[in-house]
Amino acid sequence: MPSMSNGVPPALAEIIEEFRLADDREKLELLLEYSDSLPELPERLEQVKDQWEMVEECQSPVGIHAEHADGKLQFYFAIPESAPTVRGFASLMLEGAEGSTPEEILQIPADFFVEMGLQKVLSPQRLNGISAVLAHMKRMSVAHLEGQTS
């Protein structure tokens, strides 16, 4: 398994670098591209998304769900298309954290988006919302670890 750099899974480190090298306009374009690539929910989850944990800190309704298999967590997001910033962040988190264990999710620095330069192009309110998405992912990781029996 590839090692993590600064607590960040390798796939997320690549995304951070892509954003870091982009100018401000390109950062926004990248977020929109990620927004467009947020996977649709499987039918079995679409039917129960109203029971998901909500990220109350976001202005838009953001639902998050985690499933575990083989010691790894898979996250799912329900976010309206009218919220492209948080959709983009959720999508890049899905790609960057895919195949991560709960322990690896917990190691991701809460402010890793600063290295990406997102604070230059997003309002503090939006940054608060995307920080909350990661915080919820971490809470779900802790809940999974606490619920494990060994």
Per-residue pLDDT tens over the stretch 13-41: 999 999 999 999 999 999 999 999 999 99
What pLDDT is stored for residue 2 in this prediction? 43
Host H or E run for residue 28:
helix 24-36
Query: Helix (H, G, I), strand (E, B), or coil: what is residue 54?
Result: strand
Question: Measuring CA to CA, which residue among 93, 44, 50, 73 is closest to residue 142?
Answer: 73
Give the separation between CA 134 and CA 137, rounded to whole angstroms.
5
Among 16, 30, 38, 58, the active-site one is 58
pLDDT-derived band at 5 (thresholds 50, 70, 90) equals low
pLDDT-derived band at 50 (thresholds 50, 70, 90) equals confident
Give 52-65 pLDDT, tens digit per residue.
999 999 889 999 99
CB atoms within 10 A of CB 107: 15
The pTM of this model reads 0.90
Active site residue 58: yes
- Structural domains of the chain, ranges and CATH numbers in brackets: 10-147 (3.90.1010.10)
Inter-CA distances, 91 with 40, 94, 119, Å: 11, 5, 18
Tell me 58's DSSP state.
S
CA quadruple 74, 42, 16, 60: dihedral, nearest 10: -110
Give 107-148 pLDDT, tens digit per residue.
999 999 999 999 999 999 999 999 999 999 999 999 999 986
